[in-house]
Amino acid sequence: MTENNTKFQQIATSTLVPERKVGVKLYLRTGPERFVLFINESSVLTNAKIDQLHQNNVGQLYLDASDRQGYLAYIKENLSAILNNSDLTANDRAAIIYDTASDITENLFAQPSTESIDQTRNLVDCMIDSISQSPETSNLMMMITNQDYYTYTHSINVGIYAVSMTKKILPNISETDLKTLGLGFFLHDLGKAKISNSIINKKGPLDQNEWQIMQEHPAIGADLACELGTSTPEIIDIISTHHERHDGSGYPHKLEKEKISLPGKICAFCDVFDALTTKRSYKKSLSTFAALKIIKDETPSHFDPELLNPFIMLFGTN
C-alpha cells in the first residue's frame, strides 16, 4: 500500500531499538511524495527488519505527523538504549536529547508529578552519559538551544549550559554528582508551574504585585520538589538560590558571595544568559557576544567574576 501525502515526518533509523514495538506506523519513502508502510504500530521491530534497512542503506523512515506524540513516548521509554546505539551520529544524539527534553519538561511544567520528575531525572542521566561518551554532544546541544522563550525551553537551555559549565569548572566531578546537579539545573524554575500563566506569559514588565508573586517561585519550587520526593540538598539549593546575586541584591534571601554555593552561582549565571539570548514578545534575542557584554559591563557585581571566562570558553570550543 502506498500513500501520497506531505504530512510525513522523517526519523533516523538509528533511533530504532531491535525486538521492541515502536507503537506507531513507520513508512519507507519510495518517491517525492510516495510512502509505503514498513511496519505497523502493533508489530515488534525485529533484528531482521533492521538488518533489511541496513542492507539497503536506508537511514531514514517516516511517520505520520499525527503520530509524533506516540513516537516521543517510545523515545522516552527507550532513551538509554537509543543513545547507546553506536550508529547514532552526534548531531542526531543531540537532537534526540533536546527533543525529548522539550516533551518531558513541557509536561513537567504543565502537570508536576513524581512521574514527570522521574522522567526528567532519567533524561538528565542519559544526557550526561552521552556527554561523557561523546563530549561534542554538549557543544551540539548548546548550538540547538531554542531561541523562543517558554518556561520549559528556558529550563532545558539553562540545564544544558549549566551542566556544560560545571564540567568546565569542575573537570574531575563524578558522573553521580554531575547528574544530581544536572537535575537541579533542569528543575531550577519548577516553582513557576504554580505561578499564574497571566504573570508568566505577560507581554511586558510585571507590576509590583506581580513581581512580588514572581519572586516567590524559588521557595515554591523547593517546596514542590520536596513534595514530589526530590529533597536532595544540592537540588533544593539550586532551586532556592538561582536568583541570588554575588553582591547580595538577589532574592529571596539576599545571600551574597560565599553564602551562595557554586552550583547556585552557575545556575544564576546561565539563567540570566539564556533570558538575554531568547526572544520574548516584548524584546528581541541578543547574540551570545552582546549578552556576555551586558553581563560583564552592566551587571558585573551580580555574578562571581571567576565564572565569566569559563562560560566564554564554552562557546570558544563550538
Quickly list DSSP for 119-157: HHHHHHHHHHHHHHH-THHHHHHHHT---B--HHHHHHH
Backbone φ and ψ for 187, nearest 5 degrees, come out as: -95, 5
**Angle at the Cα of 258 (from 306 to 256), degrees rounded to 5?**
95
pLDDT in tens, 81-134: 988 888 888 888 888 898 889 889 988 999 999 999 999 999 999 999 988 888
Whether residue 3 has pLDDT greater than 80: no
pLDDT at 153: 86
What is the average pLDDT across 49-77?
90
Residue 248 has pLDDT above 80, yes or no: yes
pLDDT at 131 (0 to 100): 87
| CA distance readout (Å), 46 to 20, 26, 52, 87, 121 | 7, 14, 10, 17, 30
The residues, any chain, with a CB within 8 Å of residue 281's CB and separated by 6 or more, are 203, 204
Find, among 181, 146, 188, 184, the residue nearest to 167 by Cα: 181
DSSP-derived secondary structure letter, 16: P
Residues 194-230 have pLDDT tens digits of 999 889 888 878 899 999 999 999 999 999 999 999 9
**The dihedral sign for the CA sequence 150, 152, 157, 161:** positive
Banded model confidence at residue 188, pLDDT cuts 50, 70, 90:
very high
**Structure-block grid coordinates of residue 205:** 514588565
Of 195, 236, 216, 234, nearest to 109 (Cα)? 195
User: Is the pLDDT reported for residue 299 higher than 50?
Assistant: yes
If one compares 1 and 18, the residue with the highest pLDDT of the two is 18
- Please write the tens of the pLDDT for every residue from 38-50: 999 999 999 999 8
- Domains annotated for the chain, with CATH where assigned, are 1-68 (no CATH), 78-316 (1.10.3210.10)
Which position has the higher pLDDT, 298 or 149? Answer: 298
Higher pLDDT: 183 or 5? It is 183
